[in-house]
Amino acid sequence: MTKMLLSVALLCASLSFQGTGSAHASNDASQPDQVIQWNRMLLQILQTPGAQPATVHPTRSMAIVHLAIYDAVNAIRGGHAPYLVVHAPRSASPDAAAAAAAHTALLSLFPTQQSMIDAKFQDSLSQIGGGAHVRQGIRVGKKAANAILAARANDRSDSTPPVFMPQSGPGEYQLTPPNFKQPVFTNWSDVRPFAPETGDQFRPPPPPAVTSPRYTTDFDEIKSLGEINSTTRSADQTDIGRFWGAAPVQNVWNQIAQTAGVSFANSLEQNARMFALLDTSLADGVIALYDSKYAYHRWRPVTAVQAADNDGNPDTTGDPNWTPLAVTALDPSYAGAHAEISQSAATTLRDFFGTDRLDFSLTNPSLPGIVRSFQSFSEAADEAAVSRIYAGQHFRYDEDAGQALGDQVGDFVFDSILRPVAHGR
């Protein structure tokens, strides 16, 4: 593939794609296709305050929307196994089906955003045109979206998160400063996965004992590199720590996928399948991630460093005033979320394209002057993982476990669903 440098702008309120490649839309060469357009709309909605319920992880919404789009397009074009069975005439418009599937799913998931969603649907129809094939496509899209919405209606994502009761002892998760709030998504390991059988199917092995040499090594590393005023962390490492915490990491990887879809000149069908696989792997990875977090309830570095004099490890030294570069996320430490989500995404994209290689850059207007450039999906995933060490959020063993988990989930999803089928349909 021709080497290309593309930039993904990670905006705080609305997200956009910037690049040197040209997108491939069915009817308007100046626009990316309907899959990418609706992925942008999805990310914009997810950045809207209050649009997503705080107790529902956004990766669930991502998977539902893109599985609906995939089933709608695949029902018409064929070539791969459906996620759910949807029948459609070949004469139907796949562009209209994609737009209608996204529109229907988004209206159900984000009813308060109806005006924005309806406006985007009208914009899509103005690009696609009219006619019987468009009306057929709209019916197919609605049917696909309603099917996936019905299938996920009782997936336990709406259950009340139980109150977390911290246990005592070295290594046990404690509520973290500055506000000592309850941890989030305490129920999420019980959500029914999209592809695996259960949320604990890929549970990592336990974290190292607090008295082990591995723990001591990782403790010393985070204590030195993750402190807010660290003298051992380089300026570039500080940029990395801040950059990867400035936008939801699952959104970043959806934008990287937009870049990849354009760079590799994906068709509408290819983009539909790519985003469905990507966001399903993200959703299932997050379910597995929270299974690990609440199965092991391992303490965060801020607790570990401040309490180290009483952790039973003679080789660790505490600092009761230790403060991380970034405010600690509200959940247990093991395994690391940035590591798991990023590796799941990188593995899925590598499996989909058959190569790890893509040159791209990431920027964020909230951090002017910082540009992160990569030559592969895995390079970006590795940096996202290590960023949490520089930010004082995670031990290295958290990140190693997160990446191993993400790799397993990404491969499993790719190998299990939406597979090629013989005879076209």
pLDDT digits (tens, 9 = 90+) for 104-162: 999 999 999 999 999 999 999 999 999 999 999 999 999 999 999 999 999 999 999 99
Region for 406 from its dihedrals, namely left if φ exceeds 0, alpha if ψ lies in -120 to 50, beta otherwise: alpha
Residue 294: pLDDT band with limits 50, 70, 90? very high
Q: Residue 26's pLDDT is what? A: 33
CA dist., res. 298 & res. 379, Å (int): 27
pLDDT at 406: 99
Residue type, 63: A
Distance CA 47, CA 292 (A): 27
Gap between the Cα atoms of 388 and 171, Å rounded: 19
Residue 15 has pLDDT above 50, yes or no: no
In this structure, is residue 255 part of a structural domain?
Answer: yes
Confidence of residue 422 (pLDDT cuts 50, 70, 90): confident
Identify the band that residue 228 occupies on the pLDDT scale cut at 50, 70 and 90.
very high
Q: Average pLDDT of 220-227?
A: 99
Helices of type H across 226-328:
235-243, 249-263, 268-296, 301-306
Where helices occur in 328-369 by DSSP H, the ranges are: 337-353
Predicted confidence at residue 30, as pLDDT, reads 63
Contact between residue 378 and residue 358 where contact means Cβ atoms under 8 Å apart: no
Q: Which residues contact 179 (CB under 8 A, 6 or more apart)?
A: none
pLDDT at 38 over 60: yes
Say if 200 falls within a structural domain. Answer: yes
CB 336 within 8 A of CB 388: yes
**Which pLDDT belongs to residue 86?**
78
> In CATH, what number is assigned to the domain containing residue 63?
1.10.606.20
Average pLDDT, the chain: 93
pTM: 0.93
| pLDDT > 90 fraction of the chain, expressed in percent and rounded | 91
> How many CA atoms are closer than 13 Å to the CA of 327, on its beta-carbon side?
8
Question: To which residue do tokens 């984000």 refer?
Answer: 110
**Do the domain assignments include residue 177?**
no
Q: Does any domain span residue 180?
A: no
Report the distance separating Cα 162 and Cα 152, nearest Å. Answer: 21
Q: Residue 257: helix, strand or coil by DSSP?
A: helix
Burial tier of 119 (Cβ tally within 10 Å: 0-12, 13-18, 19+): exposed
Which of helix, strand or coil describes residue 373?
strand
Percent of the chain with pLDDT over 70: 92
Mean pLDDT across the stretch 68-82? 97
pLDDT at position 85, please? 82
Inside any domain, residue 170: no
Kindly report, residue by residue over 161-199, the tens digit of the pLDDT: 999 999 999 999 999 999 999 999 999 999 999 999 999
pLDDT for residue 9: 52
218 is written with which tokens? Answer: 């990782």
SS3 375: strand
Does the pLDDT at position 263 exceed 60? yes
Distances, alpha carbon 328 to alpha carbons 24, 183, 245, 289, in Å: 41, 11, 11, 17
User: Span 19-36, mean pLDDT?
Assistant: 55
The answer to whether residue 173 is domain-embedded is no
Cis peptide before 111 (omega within 30 of 0): no
pLDDT tens figures, 314-340: 999 999 999 999 999 999 999 999 999
The number of distinct structural domains making up the chain is: 1
Strand partners, 324: 227
Domain that holds residue 114: 6-159+186-416
pLDDT of residue 423: 63
pLDDT, residue 87, reads: 87
Please, which pLDDT band fits residue 298 given cuts at 50, 70 and 90? Answer: very high
Q: What angle do CA 248, 250, 255 make, to 5 degrees?
A: 100
Report if residue 166 sits inside a domain: no
